[in-house]
Amino acid sequence: MTQYIPYILSTIAICVTLYSLFHKEHNDEKKEDYMNDTALKVSLAQQETKLDMILNTVSKIELHQEQQSAKVEELTTRIVTVEASCKSLHKRVDKMESLKSE
């Protein structure tokens, strides 16, 4: 029986070593998964921040476009008024010329 003690101890030592290696690899995988999850979360947060910045920029552009549209509409109204005044002036000038030539 004493002759089997070294074999038993060797077998136990091998089992403990294999368990330790497997457990270490398993822990390393967990750490790697955690790091990948953390990197993914950081990446998603950065993308969300960039999307927020794009949304803010688009909102500013839309506001600026609305202001420009209002200015164009105002200028269009003013041009129509000026054209009407010019037409009226032209008629008066034509009347004055016809009176002067008589």
**Total tally of structural domains belonging to the chain:** 1
Q: Could you tell me the residue range of the domain that residue 27 belongs to?
A: 2-101
What pLDDT is attached to residue 66? 95
Q: What was the pLDDT predicted at 43?
A: 85
Could you say which DSSP state residue 1 is in?
-
Question: Considering the entire predicted model, what is its pTM?
Answer: 0.49
Taking the C-alpha atoms of residue 20 and residue 28, their distance in angstroms, rounded to an integer, is: 12
Please tell me the distance from the alpha carbon of residue 62 to that of residue 89, in angstroms, as a whole number. 40
**Residues in the chain, overall count:** 102
Residue-wise pLDDT tens digits, 8-30: 778 888 878 777 767 666 666 66
Specify the higher pLDDT residue, 81 or 4: 81
Q: Quick: pLDDT tens for 29-40.
A: 666 666 777 888
Sign of the CA dihedral running 66, 71, 73, 74: positive
Q: How confident is the model at residue 41 (pLDDT cuts 50, 70, 90)?
A: confident
- For residue 4, the model assigns a pLDDT of 73
Tell me what the mean pLDDT of segment 63-80 comes to.
95
